[in-house]
Structure 1
Amino acid sequence: MELLLAIFLTVLTGIVAIAFYYEHPKAEIPHEMSERQKLYALHYCMNFGLGLATFLDKVGVISEVHLLRVIMETIPPLKDTRLLIKDLRFERVKVRIYQLKTSNNSQRRGILYFHGGVGRLGSIHTYENVCRYLSRESDSVVVSVQYRLAPEHKYPAAYEDCLNATQHFLQHLERYGVDPARVTVCGDSAGGNLAAAVSQTLAGRADLPRLRAQILIYPGLQALDFNLPSYQQNQGVPLLFRERAAFFALLYLNGDALHMQEVLEGSHIPPDMRLKYRKWVSPDNIPEEFKVRGVKPLRPTDFIAEVYETVKRFCEPNLCPLLAEDSVVHQLPESFIENLTCEYDVLRDDGLLYKKRLEDNGVRVTWYHLEDGFHGIISLYDYCGLSFPSGKRGLDRVVNFLKSL
């Protein structure tokens, strides 16, 4: 028994060592960021989980993605007696609905929340605290959507689930006491991508109540250029590295990450298509104040047709909403882009570019930038002591925006 315990501890120590020495040095947390040591600790814990999951997957104990999902859902939230919480299905899509037990409003705001997790992780369970807070503080009926995840379910599965759940909710607002004029779609990270895509799809629909707003929290909105200033400046800042952004985008699209290096270099987009979208996806459209931390000019890369054939759906607006035509964009409801445009987030510039597109098309944008924010900061709210003050500040801005509707 003692021998087995010694072997187990040795293996565990090896996993920790791999996680620390292989992953931890990649982290590049700027000195300007507040609570740097706390972020380093969080990064280290995440890499330990990744190392453990990878090891157990390779020895055939449990798949990596399944273990990571289990780990993320091991800490149940405390009970909240102020809220009525129900698990339902909107047709085939599982949802969790939150609303105050006592409310002075006969018709409340409605929020469809699409969780983050790079399209591969996250669930209605891991976003319990965020959705409770939004419902409680803004007196809204929150519908948290459990969409299908990659790599088991590739694009467009998640988009279809979010669209179907939204349509179902809009068709049955009376049942939940929701004002048809105050329904918002909201999401962070991959969920922000889904919120933008759903909003675009419903923009021209006359048979459903018009969405009042879209709240996009550090959304990923394009996969044409992984070398925008924010990708360069924040490529090693947790919780989302530049390489991981491309890796997860490919998993979501194809279920695998083949040709990741070519996608990072930009060899996956034909020259004529890159020229077509340059008016929307270009470092030239990023305000100069966001380039002060440095931007390196990159030499053009050769286009590889074989790679394009495997990723050409990256040019579909339902996957990359930044590429939607102007005729769609100008019909959108007002937006609150809280991309916590996080200063230390590789996806910062996706939010900035979409903000410009909306404003250029006459769509009113309420924008808030977290100077010391990083990717994923909202999802850490009230989570095992890992909250960051700027994340709470960003979440409160979302609440204040909702109250203004």
Structure 2
Amino acid sequence: LPLCRDSQLCIKDLHFDEVPVRIYLPRVPSAGNRRGVIFFHGGCGMFGSIRSYERICRNIARKADSVVVSVGYRLSPEYKYPTQTLDCLTATEHFLKTAGNYGVDAARVIVCGDSAGGTFAATVCQELVKRRDLPKIRAQVLIYPFLQALNFNLPSHQQNAFTAFLSRERTVRFILKYLNKDCSMKEAVLAGSHVPESMNLKYRKWINPDLIPEIFKPGYKPPLPSSFLPEVHEETKELLKTRLSPLIAEDAVVCCLPDTCLITCQHDVLRDDGLLYKKRLEDNNVKVNWYHVDDGFH
């Protein structure tokens, strides 16, 4: 939707510390400060925009009677990784510091994102755990997020390998393009050859098909072992860090995360990322509201 007058919302284009944002403020006066929602759009860090998520953000602002901030983070490959995550973090920090200027209660700020936007939301929450100079995020809403790049052979990867929009192969190709890496490494990453055995052993307690409920595993076949390729590992080390794989954050970080709403879809290669993160959060006594769309897809 083009930016135009809205009878229920006051819509402004601003910059939060040089990061472009669009803010949606309900016109009806409120007795007190409202909830704030910071929204990060999807698109693998390469696509999407404030404008393409206009309708969604308007609906959130209207139906939740909340002030919504849609973040126009800069896109790869023009702006190299991790510019996207850092822009999201910068905008969030600014909003937490200035929430009162927009009629928002800084103790009631939620971060929200879909797909890669869900990755950014999860990462921002983890980064802010360390901060004592800012109000705490009240909750995170993760909509079919990408959460790990170690294992592309989980049940959901196999079951939805050829799904039209986001296939297993396309997922890895998008990630490599996002990082501005050679896509010829795609098959090696799909096979898991980018992960050292020591790392596989370390994170098996968190990324393991045995942790997926049986109802989600019909037809699953354990993959054949793959050979570690040091040259691929060297080129793709960023995949194995928490900014791209927030699922592997340490318990000391996860236990401090805010209440979480997690949405997964049955016909989505990323489904099991969400299921595994749900378990990690719950194991660390984080409150999780999980909504699974049985007929949903990415």
TM-score, length-scaled by structure 2: 0.97
Question: Over residues 358-405 of structure 1, what are the superposed CA-to-partner deviations in whole Å (9 max), with x where a residue is unaligned?
Answer: 001111101000001110xxxxxxxxxxxxxxxxxxxxxxxxxxxxxx
Aligned pair partner of 2:233 in 289, 297, 308? 308
Question: Over residues 244-300 of structure 1, what are the superposed CA-to-partner deviations in whole Å (9 max), with x where a residue is unaligned?
Answer: 1101111222354240111011111011111111111111111111012x1122110
Residue 372 of structure 1 aligns to a residue whose secondary structure is strand
Q: Does 1:328 align with 2:253?
A: yes
Q: Does 1:262 align with 2:185?
A: no
- Distance between the aligned counterparts of 2:31 and 2:170, measured in 1? 44
Runs of 5+ unmatched residues, structure 2: none
- Distance between the aligned counterparts of 1:89 and 1:77, measured in 2? 16
Q: Which residue of 2 aligns with 1:91?
A: 17
Shift of 1:77: 7.1
Aligned pair partner of 2:162 in 236, 239, 244? 236
Within-5 A mapping of 1:15-30: none
Q: Does 1:145 align with 2:71?
A: yes
Residue 296 of structure 1 aligns to a residue whose secondary structure is coil
Question: Over residues 301-321 of structure 1, what are the superposed CA-to-partner deviations in whole Å (9 max), with x where a residue is unaligned?
Answer: 100000000001112112210
Asked if structure 2 preserves the Cα contact closer than 8 Å seen for 1:83 and 1:101, the reply is yes
Aligned pair partner of 2:284 in 350, 355, 361? 361
Q: Which residue of 2 aligns with 1:192?
A: 118
Q: Which residue of 1 aligns with 2:55?
A: 129
Question: Over residues 33-71 of structure 1, what are the superposed CA-to-partner deviations in whole Å (9 max), with x where a residue is unaligned?
Answer: xxxxxxxxxxxxxxxxxxxxxxxxxxxxxxxxxxxxxxx
Shift of 1:78: 7.0
Question: Over residues 90-127 of structure 1, what are the superposed CA-to-partner deviations in whole Å (9 max), with x where a residue is unaligned?
Answer: 11100000011113343000011000011110010000
Aligned pair partner of 1:119 in 36, 45, 48? 45
Asked if structure 1 preserves the Cα contact closer than 8 Å seen for 2:181 and 2:235, the reply is no
Q: Percent identity?
A: 58
Q: Does 1:161 align with 2:87?
A: yes
Aligned pair partner of 2:293 in 365, 370, 387? 370
- Distance between the aligned counterparts of 1:283 and 1:103, measured in 2? 50
Within-5 A mapping of 1:216-255: 216-255=142-181
Q: What is the CA RMSD across the aligned residues, in angstroms? A: 1.3
Question: Over residues 200-241 of structure 1, what are the superposed CA-to-partner deviations in whole Å (9 max), with x where a residue is unaligned?
Answer: 010132110100000000000001111110010011113211
- Distance between the aligned counterparts of 2:85 and 2:92, measured in 1? 11
- Distance between the aligned counterparts of 1:190 and 1:268, measured in 2? 21
Residue 297 of structure 2 aligns to a residue whose secondary structure is coil
Asked if structure 2 preserves the Cα contact closer than 8 Å seen for 1:112 and 1:185, the reply is yes
Q: Greater relative contact order: 1 or 2 (C-alpha under 8 angstroms, separation 6 or more)? A: 2
Q: Which structure shows the higher strand fraction?
A: 2
- Distance between the aligned counterparts of 2:211 and 2:262, measured in 1? 17
- Distance between the aligned counterparts of 2:75 and 2:251, measured in 1? 30
Q: Does 1:345 align with 2:271?
A: no
TM-score, length-scaled by structure 1: 0.72
Residue type at the aligned position of 1:316 = K
Residue type at the aligned position of 2:285 = G
Aligned pair partner of 1:297 in 200, 214, 222? 222
Residue 107 of structure 2 aligns to a residue whose secondary structure is strand
Structure 1 ranges of 4+ moved more than 4 A: none
